[in-house]
Amino acid sequence: MRSIRFAVFSFLITTVALASDVVRHPFQSSAARGSVQRIVIDIPAGEINVRNGASDTLTVSGHAHRDYQGAKERIWAQKIVDDTSVEIYVNGPEAIVRRRFGPNAGSFRAQKFTNVTMTIDVPQGVDVYFETSFGEVDLEGVFGNVDVDLRAGEARFRTPRSTVRQLNASCRVGEVRANLGDQIVTREGLFPGRTHFFNAAGKSNVNLHVTAGEIDVTLGMK
């Protein structure tokens, strides 16, 4: 499994290996929940953690970061990350978490190669939908419906077993590990199949898929 993992993620870390250093810039944003019942995370790539927070507020905090080589490029890279942040746009029952770019980060090259690492705090029971294609996604808490569909990366999901009505976890190549409370299911390799869980008393529908990578699920007993 180590060889599969290396093949899946090697292209994601190539630029890191070549770079001499990394520049960073912190960001933080919040919005009143209002009538929001659904969060859409419109972040193409990055490391994204979702946790439960206050019942009336949505918050996001983290940092933008970018690799650079040499002192001259560092100045340019720092200007880009300084003009990169993440905002929460609320539109009635839906909130969108999205990147925001200033003038120094307006080019395609600037946006494509600038990554974000962040934590999003959401109220319990809110639906969470990802439009993320690459990176790491980590959810822990009590949520409504959840949908994750990565092209390459890793998805981790931890929630009380009693809250889940239906869970589907799958990948095309990689590994799916699922602790379902009463059994542990591990599938790995090429087209390893789908792990399915059903609980008629639960409420949330959870779909986790990674084209190439890993999924780790824990359904706790609380």
Quick: pLDDT tens for 193-202: 899 999 999 9
Residue 20: the pLDDT is 55
Q: What is the pTM of this model?
A: 0.86
Question: Using an 8 Å Cβ cutoff, are 159 and 221 in contact?
Answer: no
d(CA 44, CA 135): 9
17 — pLDDT class (breaks 50, 70, 90): very low
Quick: pLDDT tens for 69-86: 888 899 999 999 999 999
